[in-house]
A and B are shown apart, each in its own frame.
Chain A
Amino acid sequence: MTSAALSPGMAALVLFGGFFLMLALRVPVAFSLGLACLPILVIEPRLSPMMLFNETFKAYNSFILLAVPFFLLTANLMSVGGITDRLVRLSRAMVGNFPGALAQINVVLSVFFAGISGSSTADAASQSKIFIDAQTREGYDLSFSIAITAVSAVLAVIIPPSILMIVWGGVISVSIGALYLAGILPGLLIAGAQMVTVHVYAVKRKYPVYPRATVKEFFVSIWDSIPALTTPFIIVGGILLGWFTATESAAIAVIYAALLSIFVYREMDMKRLYGALVDTGRLAGVALFCVGTASAFGWLLAYYQIPKALLSNVSSWGLDITGVGFFIAFVFLVVGCFLDAIPAIIIVGTTLQPLAESVHMHPIQFAIIGIVSLAFGLVTPPYGMCLMIACAVARVRLRYALKDTLIMLVPMLLVLVGLILWPEVVLWLPKLISPELVK
């Protein structure tokens, strides 16, 4: 980079300085990322604002990202088509007799939901509408209700299918099928940690319990939910068997959810369908627009080799594989506070990959550590999408539910520590089911 007008240090200052200044002024994240690039594009004689167009075009012109609107649409169809109602009934039959029943149902429903949709934001949006109001009416504290809805929504990107895994697999070339299998156990562990947290809260605060479901109710609710519960097997199985690609599997999920809603459960009408489509387009548009400007930002960082300069220090620390694991989790957790997960994978994931390779960390473990950390970023302030959505539905400001959210994060972070210390938790299932993908 001898011919560059700006030194890497200067460029980093302009990029990050501009970005954070605009964030502080409440400029939307997507525009802040794009605008931060602008001064450099004007100053640097070899670059021009045209680059902004090329990079955003390249980012959007991607078959992989198409999975995002499809998974959002699946989630929205589930809510308007009666699938979610059946799953709520099933969850109630399963955990309704536990203390804090409704909050436990909230977590269990998120697990089912995660197995069908790959989008945490969609999970947070639909479950906030179902649970926050219902929980407060039963005497749960509002901040607890918001927090548990938001933190359980992060399961959607950890349990397959998952938008983040598709993006990770596309950007860093790891088998998406293997990532899907690897996410199942960590996802269930995190759900378990959340249920323990709810239990402790519920016992301490005497939250209400439902009567135990009869055996008949239990089996009826399972029978009702079977068509919906087959979805994850179709998606994950279809990908592993090579029937369709990850993006196509998202389209399959949409079609399957639509067929269920129209022909099996028969609860969809045109008005609600239109609403589901508008919500999908709206959320997909703003979320993905940000991916484009983040790509431009990431491209400039790479142009000045800023990530390399930042990492050269770290490699000299002589960390072992566990140390690198903690470092990677830490970086993703911090970045996740300020950036959406998809741009974070594009900018940070590719940067950290050589570091993970240098200590021979398994690419799948690297991916799961990254994705789980970024998923936690969905509920950490100031930029935690799921928490923002849950607070918006409850019409309170983000900091209102902050304390309970952070308390609930502690057991989840312990699971993350476990994933770093024991790679087998991540690798066991992919090795068992499709060893050829794990090498």
Chain B
Amino acid sequence: MKKILDRYHTLLTWLMVATVVVLLVPVSLQIFSRFTELIPRYLWTEEASRFLFIWLIMLGAMIGVREGTHFEVDLWPELGARGNALLKIVSNLFVLVFALVFSWWGVGFTQFGWNQTSEIADLPMWMIFIAWPVSGLTWVVFLGESFHDNVLVLMGRAPQ
């Protein structure tokens, strides 16, 4: 199970890196087309970069839950391993609610965009909107793993 999650995690990281790199293309095209006659002044560049950007954010936010990089405010004194695990379970329950909201209403959000296309490039909007339910479901999976690990710590059986 861990292995599958690791693979999925790697896949998401790859996709994220790809969006960062590809993002540079439309923005550069936009600048260079303004100054040279070599390429026409495309209109789709601005829209394409915004849509890639949305995917970049959502992919980063998905990975962030597994890596624990979402910023948090720490007001607690030093807790032991068990205390931390317990607190993590509690805070993860809140994140889980959010993940479920994103999954459940996200499906409706995607359906809403099913027959829409974007204003400039005529891209199907569901390709963008689906990032929300995908994030929600990804979080649910990653949170499940975290719950499992933290319960083990709580019972005094830390993994490895």
Partners in one complex: yes
Q: How many residues of B contact A (CB 8 A)?
A: 55
A292–B54 CA distance with the chains assembled, in angstroms: 11
Residues of B with C-beta under 8 A to A299: none
Q: From residue B118, how far is it (CB to closest CB) to chain A in Å?
A: 10
Kindly provide the distance from the CB of A214 to the nearest chain B CB, expressed in whole angstroms: 41
Q: Given A282-B64, A289-B57, verify A50-B50 contact (CB < 8 Å).
A: no
Which residue of chain B has the shortest Cβ distance to A72 in the bound complex? Answer: B20
**B22: min CB distance to chain A, Å:** 11
Closest to A56 in B: B132
**B-binding segment of A27-35, A112-120, A360-368:** A27-35
Q: Contact check, B94 vs A22: say whether CB atoms are below 8 A apart.
A: yes
**Chain B CB within 8 A of A184 CB:** no
Among the 9-residue stretches A59-67, A131-139, A348-356, the one with 4 or more Cβ atoms under 8 Å from chain B is: A59-67
B98 x A34 contact (CB < 8 A): yes
| Secondary structure of the B contact surface, majority rule | helix
Contacts of B62 on A, CB cut-off 8 Å? 285
B26-85 contacts to A (CB < 8 Å): 27-28, 30-31, 34-35, 46, 49-51, 53-54, 56-64, 67, 69-76, 78
Our pick among B53, B108, B109 for the contact of A60 (Cβ within 8 Å) is B53
Q: A27-B95, A28-B70 are in contact. Are A50 and B105 (CB under 8 A)?
A: yes
A227 within 8 A of B: no
Assess whether A278 is interfacial by the CB under 8 Å rule.
yes
- Which residues of chain A have C-beta atoms less than 8 A from B73's C-beta? 23-24, 26, 29, 338, 382-383
Query: In the bound complex, what is the Cα–Cα distance between A388 and B72 (angstroms)?
Result: 10
Asked whether A66 lies within 8 Å of B71 as measured between CB atoms, the reply is no
Q: Is the CB of A244 within 8 A of B50?
A: no
Within 8 A of A (CB), among B73-127: 73-76, 78, 87-88, 90-91, 94-95, 97-98, 101, 105-106, 108-109
- The reply on B16 being an interface residue by CB < 8 A is yes
Does A38 contact B101, Cβ atoms closer than 8 Å? yes
Known: A35-B94, A281-B17, A282-B60. A254 touches B24 (CB 8 A): yes
B contact residues around A274 at 8 Å (CB): 17
Q: Does B19 contact A (CB under 8 A)?
A: yes
CA distance A29 to B91 in the complex (A): 11
- Count chain A residues whose beta carbon lies closer than 8 angstroms to a beta carbon of B: 60
> Which A residue's beta carbon lies closest to that of B53?
A66
Cβ 8 A contact of B20, one of A30, A73, A287: A73
CA distance in complex: A27, B34 (Å):
46
Alpha-carbon separation in the docked complex, A129 to B51 (Å): 33
Using known A-B contacts A251-B27, A383-B71, determine if residue A66 contacts B20 with beta carbons closer than 8 Å: no
Contact of A223 with B by CB under 8 A? no
Q: Does A277 contact B (CB under 8 A)?
A: yes
Contact assessment for B57 and A285 in the assembled complex, using a CB-CB cutoff below 8 Å: yes
Residue of B nearest to A59 (CB): B57
- Least Cβ distance of B123 to chain A in Å? 12
Q: A286 near B69 (CB under 8 angstroms)? A: yes
* CB-nearest residue of chain B to A288: B57
Inter-chain contacts of A285 with B (CB < 8 A): 16, 56-64
Any chain A CB within 8 A of the CB of B13? yes
B95 contacts A28, CB within 8 Å?
yes
Chain B residues near A63: list those with CB within 8 A.
Answer: 46, 49-50
C-alpha gap A341/B63 in the complex (Å): 22
Hey, which chain A residues are within 8 Å of B76, CB to CB?
26
The CA-CA distance from A38 to B90 in the complex, in Å, is 18
Cβ of A403 within 8 Å of any chain B Cβ, yes or no, is: no
Whether B98 contacts A397 by the Cβ 8 Å rule is no
Contacts of A70 on B, CB cut-off 8 Å? 24, 27
| A241 beta carbon closer than 8 Å to chain B | no
Residue among B58, B61, B87 having the largest count of chain A Cβ atoms under 10 Å: B61
Bound CA–CA A14/B5 (angstroms): 36
Closest to B68 in A: A28
Which of A35, A66, A385 gathers most chain B CB within 10 Å?
Answer: A66
Among residues of A, the one whose C-beta sits closest to the C-beta of B13 is A278
- How near does chain A come to B159, taking the closest CB pair, in angstroms? 21
CB distance from A51 to the nearest CB of B (A): 10
Are B109 and A50 closer than 8 Å at their CB atoms? yes
Contact B27–A247 (Cβ < 8 Å): yes
Give chain B residues whose Cβ lies under 8 Å from the Cβ of A278.
13, 16-17
Residue of B nearest to A67 (CB): B27
Q: Does A52 contact B (CB under 8 A)?
A: yes
Across the interface, name the chain B residue whose C-beta is closest to A338. Answer: B73
Chain A min CB distance to B27 (Å): 4
CA distance A280 to B50 in the complex (A): 17
- Known contacts A57-B132, A281-B19, then 8 further A-B pairs from the complex at CB < 8 Å, ordered by chain A residue: A26-B88, A52-B105, A60-B58, A62-B53, A282-B60, A285-B62, A286-B60, A286-B71
A-B interface, 9 closest residue pairs, ranked by CB to CB distance from nearest: A285-B60, A28-B70, A289-B61, A281-B16, A251-B27, A286-B64, A27-B91, A382-B73, A277-B17
| 12 residue pairs bridging A and B, Cβ less than 8 Å apart | A27-B94, A53-B132, A61-B54, A69-B23, A70-B27, A247-B27, A281-B19, A281-B20, A286-B60, A289-B70, A382-B74, A388-B71
